[in-house]
């Protein structure tokens, strides 16, 4: 090859390399934010795909349909207690570990029942009591569980006809075709046909031992005094005492800095660039484009993104938007609060539209072995949304640890029978009250 041709080829190669470098730079700098090489959505990957004639477009995952989107929210949807009634034996689950094991074991069955639920009908109190007599699996929730959110968390298709909040969910195994039955927080009971067939109820029991207990509607001393599905027994109730302390006791400690960084990250702050200062009352304040976050000495967290006044108040929201908001709140709780709760657990307490502020409110609280803990302000964490925008948040940063003391409470059947005859209470449950750094349990009667 002549010297002239060599120079020509060399110049052509240099021009091609410059064009390639320019194209890669443009894709990664101006087409989308820089991403790691090898990422299927990065500019480099799309440029290489284009060179080889492959489709550079990406398929967007549909929101609300993938289980992975809601996997982190399962800790907030675990029930407080469960009953597995085979008619030959009565199994009662109230310890957190047992509840999680049973729930995970029945996850597919629950999801299938919810996904195929149809032909809803309203049941009367007699039909509800009859179902409680038969072979069934009952889950009771600590808070007000939106059925549509529970369905999304289990990757079941959301049903517009089931857009309401429940306190109890029951699978009826009295026939070969399994029936889904739910009790709303208003006390209405709905039954749905499902595609589940031939399920062996005993397969869910595992190593669990049956107990001497029954539903309140089946006991002559407690019927019409407390909710029918309340579990009553003549056995004393054991309730552990808890020590309650702030998560952050020394802001100067390295562990406290790690915890604060985790909290800031969960709210969308950049922990490397966030500005911070200390107010005269020792409150730590963190400021960035994401908003302002304050943490007081006694463990109260307050977040404000400063955008509420700029956003239009919400008068009503689509079911999927509500689901997304609950999931966003659950994710923050999962990342920033649950790891430091100690022996306590988190649950979804309620969600509602606040007409005064125009915000959609999502509230989480804490429990120990399914028993609610009464917290300052009435919540563990509270989130306020406008549309899908988190505008305000409040949280109690506390740790709950079993202190080695266990109290023995009155048996549930006697606690239930002590209720007056004239008006049945809406709740009979064990609850924790905090006083002087300790949480102690006692029977609670709801009205």
The pLDDT tens digits of the residues spanning 427-446 come to 999 999 999 999 999 999 98
The overall average pLDDT reported for the chain is 85
- Tell the residue number behind the tokens 């990342």, with chain if given: 335
pLDDT at 206: 83
Residue 39 has pLDDT above 70, yes or no: no
The pLDDT tens digits of the residues spanning 258-277 come to 999 999 999 999 999 999 99
Q: How far apart are CA 377 and CA 357, in angstroms?
A: 18
pLDDT at 66: 37
Q: How far apart are CA 438 and CA 400, in angstroms?
A: 9
The pLDDT tens digits of the residues spanning 40-71 come to 343 434 433 443 344 433 333 333 333 344 44
pLDDT at 71: 47
- Tell the residue number behind the tokens 């002590």, with chain if given: 418
Q: Which residues of 400-413 are buried (b: 16+ CB within 10 A; e: fewer)?
A: bbbeeeeeeeeebb
The two structure tokens encoding residue 107: 């996850």
70 near 153, Cβ under 8 Å?
Answer: yes
pLDDT at 398: 96
């Amino acid at each position: 090859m002549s010297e002239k041709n060599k120079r020509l080829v060399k110049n052509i190669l240099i021009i091609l390399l410059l064009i390639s470098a320019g194209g890669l730079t443009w894709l990664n700098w101006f087409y989308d934010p820089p991403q790691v090489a090898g990422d299927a959505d990065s500019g480099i990957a799309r440029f290489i795909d284009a060179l080889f004639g492959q489709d550079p477009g990406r398929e967007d995952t549909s929101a609300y349909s993938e289980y992975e989107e809601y996997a982190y929210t399962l800790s907030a949807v675990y029930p407080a207690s469960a009953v597995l009634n085979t008619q030959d034996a009565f199994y009662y689950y109230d310890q957190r570990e047992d509840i999680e094991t049973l729930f995970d074991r029945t996850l597919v069955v629950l999801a299938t029942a919810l996904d195929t639920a149809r032909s809803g009908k309203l049941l009367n109190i007699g039909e509800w009591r009859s179902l409680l007599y038969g072979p069934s699996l009952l889950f009771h929730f600590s808070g007000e569980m939106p059925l549509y959110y529970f369905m999304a968390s289990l990757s079941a298709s959301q049903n517009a006809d089931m857009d309401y909040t429940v306190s109890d969910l029951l699978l009826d195994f009295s026939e070969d075709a399994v029936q889904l039955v739910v009790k709303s927080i208003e006390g209405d009971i709905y039954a749905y046909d499902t595609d589940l067939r031939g399920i062996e109820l005993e397969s869910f029991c595992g190593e669990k031992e049956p107990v001497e207990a029954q539903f309140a509607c089946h006991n002559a001393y407690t019927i019409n005094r407390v909710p029918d599905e309340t579990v009553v027994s003549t056995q004393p109730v054991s309730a552990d005492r808890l020590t309650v302390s702030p998560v952050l006791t020394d802001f100067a400690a390295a562990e406290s800095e790690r915890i604060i960084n985790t909290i800031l990250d969960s709210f969308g702050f950049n922990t490397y660039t966030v500005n911070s200062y200390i107010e005269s009352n020792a409150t730590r304040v963190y400021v960035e484009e994401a908003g302002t976050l304050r943490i007081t000495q006694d463990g109260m967290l307050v977040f404000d993104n400063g955008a509420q006044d700029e956003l239009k108040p919400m008068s009503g929201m689509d079911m999927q938007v509500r689901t997304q908001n609950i999931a966003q709140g659950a994710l923050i709780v999962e990342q920033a609060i649950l790891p430091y709760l100690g022996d306590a657990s988190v649950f979804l307490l309620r969600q509602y539209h606040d007409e005064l502020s125009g915000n959609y409110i999502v509230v989480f609280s804490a429990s120990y072995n399914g028993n609610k803990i009464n917290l300052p302000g009435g919540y563990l964490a509270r989130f306020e949304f406008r549309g899908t925008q988190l505008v305000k948040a409040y949280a109690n940063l506390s740790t709950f640890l079993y202190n080695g003391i266990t109290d023995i409470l009155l048996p549930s059947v006697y606690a239930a029978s002590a209720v007056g005859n004239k008006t049945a209470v809406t709740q009979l449950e064990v609850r924790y009250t905090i006083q002087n750094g300790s949480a102690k349990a006692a029977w609670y009667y709801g009205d």
